[in-house]
Amino acid sequence: MNRTQWNQLADTFETEVCDIAREETRDQLSRLVRAVDLSPKDSVLVDLGCGVGTFIQRFHHRFHEVTAVEFAPRIIARAKKNCTKVPRVRWLTMDIPRSAKSIGTVADLTVCMNVITSPSRAKRNSIWSAIARVTKPRSHALIVVPSLESERMVQRVSRNAPPTLPGGLVQRDDAVQKHFERAELMSTLSRAGFAPMRIARIYYPWSKEGMRKPRSGGGKGPWDWVCLARRNAGVRSRKP
Ligand SMILES: C[S@@+](CC[C@H](N)C(=O)[O-])C[C@H]1O[C@@H](n2cnc3c(N)ncnc32)[C@H](O)[C@@H]1O
């Protein structure tokens, strides 16, 4: 989806978009953020594709300052409103790859949740590169991406889900979204210059798939992949 399409979702973000920091059902994000050594005295959070600012609202107290990037002006306006009580936030209304230059290599934790979904590999690569560029060596990134394994599970239990397209692409309403297999996420992160530390399922409600909980076969529900990864020290990332 392009910036105009995202902008049109600003008013209905909560119903139309899976805001994982709000929807997750098992508090996985708190556990992963706790696993990172952070200090409210000097740690820096960079949230790339911050949406309406839910992650910032939940976790800003672990950081001294926050930089939030979002290219849809009406969405970032909502994030600012939601975060009026959050001190020291720098809001950048711009495309993530361009923002990396202005931000610099400052992040103790870089968050990029459900943003690397473009069907274009080149666009996804430019976001992986931006994540590597803003994250300090040996610091961390928390990445959430749609799961292809979950999509297959949803297709099995639902009669009318459309089949996946080649390359992990899935048709969602009017848009095509990239989904990742676990192994693909691991190898992509490695090529981007990160060592994956923990990778887990982050569950969200069935309603986000437009479904009720199925009687059987649905496990703990649909999920995204969440990965906490450590930026390699002094190694230039290869093209993911
Ligand atoms: C699925 S939403 C996720 C928002 C938030 N990270 C969350 O988990 O709720 C994706 C967000 O990323 C923004 N976005 C997508 N591509 C972007 C890009 N290239 N540069 C900046 N923002 C982008 C969209 O406008 C949208 O708000």
| Confidence (pLDDT) at 237 | 54
Does a structural domain hold residue 236? no
Q: Measured in angstroms, how far is the CA atom of residue 185 from the centroid of ligand 1?
A: 18
**Whole-prediction pTM:** 0.95
d(CA 23, CA 31): 15
Query: Which residue has a Cα nearest atom 7 of ligand 1?
Result: 19
Query: Which residue has a Cα nearest atom 23 of ligand 1?
Result: 49
| Confidence (pLDDT) at 209 | 87
The answer to whether 144 and 226 have CB atoms below 8 angstroms apart is yes
d(CA 169, CA 240): 17
Does a structural domain hold residue 74? yes
Does a structural domain hold residue 37? yes
d(CA 228, CA 202): 12
The answer to whether 177 and 165 have CB atoms below 8 angstroms apart is no
| Confidence (pLDDT) at 62 | 98
Of 70, 93, 142, best ligand 1 pocket probe by most atoms within 8 Å of the beta carbon: 70
Q: Measured in angstroms, how far is the CA atom of residue 62 from the centroid of ligand 1?
A: 22
Q: Measured in angstroms, how far is the CA atom of residue 22 from the centroid of ligand 1?
A: 15
Q: Measured in angstroms, how far is the CA atom of residue 151 from the centroid of ligand 1?
A: 20
d(CA 214, CA 198): 29
Q: Which residue in 105, 127, 102, 104 sits closest to 49, CA to CA?
A: 127
Residues spanned by the domain of 214 = 3-231
How far is CA 56 from its chain centroid?
13
pLDDT lower than 70: segments of the chain: 234-240
Q: Measured in angstroms, how far is the CA atom of residue 216 from the centroid of ligand 1?
A: 33
| 3 CA closest ligand 1 atom index | 25
| Confidence (pLDDT) at 210 | 83
Does a structural domain hold residue 240? no
The ligand 1 site (C-beta within 6 Å) comprises 6, 17, 19-21, 49-51, 54, 69-72, 75, 95-96, 113-115
Does a structural domain hold residue 173? yes
CATH number, residue 39: 3.40.50.150
In total, how many domains does the chain have?
1
Does a structural domain hold residue 170? yes
| Confidence (pLDDT) at 147 | 97
Does a structural domain hold residue 239? no
Does a structural domain hold residue 190? yes
